[in-house]
Amino acid sequence: MNRFRSHTPISLNIIWKFFSLLLVLTLFIFFFQGIHTVDHTTSEEQVKSLEQSIRRSVVQCYAVEGTYPPSLDYLKEHYGIFYDSDLFYVDYTSIGSNIMPDITIIPLETSK
């Protein structure tokens, strides 16, 4: 018995528990980071898809009617454009009947 020894030795069992806990926490961090990355990529793809859909409808309207649509409501009513206004703000600025309108899509942040 050593009277001058003040601490107990760390057992191998405690070290394995610590590294196991560290491994599990690391896996959770990577998992949630992956989910966040996929969610961000999906939002970007939704914006691109909505913009392509609106532009395609604008060009179709010009080809069929000979003029660009005067408003976004006109596209919704006659060409079936539908989007979730809680997720996206669409700025549709019609410059003239023979000039391609300016289309800007802004994703809205939702607090969860």
Block mean pLDDT (10 aa), the chain, length 112: 64 86 94 90 90 95 94 93 91 90 88 47
In a domain, 7, yes or no: no
Question: What domain count does the chain have?
Answer: 1
In a domain, 25, yes or no: yes
> Judging by DSSP bridges, how do beta strands 102-107 and 88-93 pair with one another?
antiparallel
In a domain, 2, yes or no: no
In a domain, 3, yes or no: no
Structural domain harbouring 38: 12-107
| Predicted local confidence at residue 50, as pLDDT | 94
In a domain, 50, yes or no: yes
What are the residues whose beta carbons fall under 8 Å from the beta carbon of 61, sequence distance 6 or more? 67, 68, 69, 74, 75, 78, 79
The model's pTM = 0.68
| Predicted local confidence at residue 5, as pLDDT | 65
In a domain, 6, yes or no: no
In a domain, 102, yes or no: yes
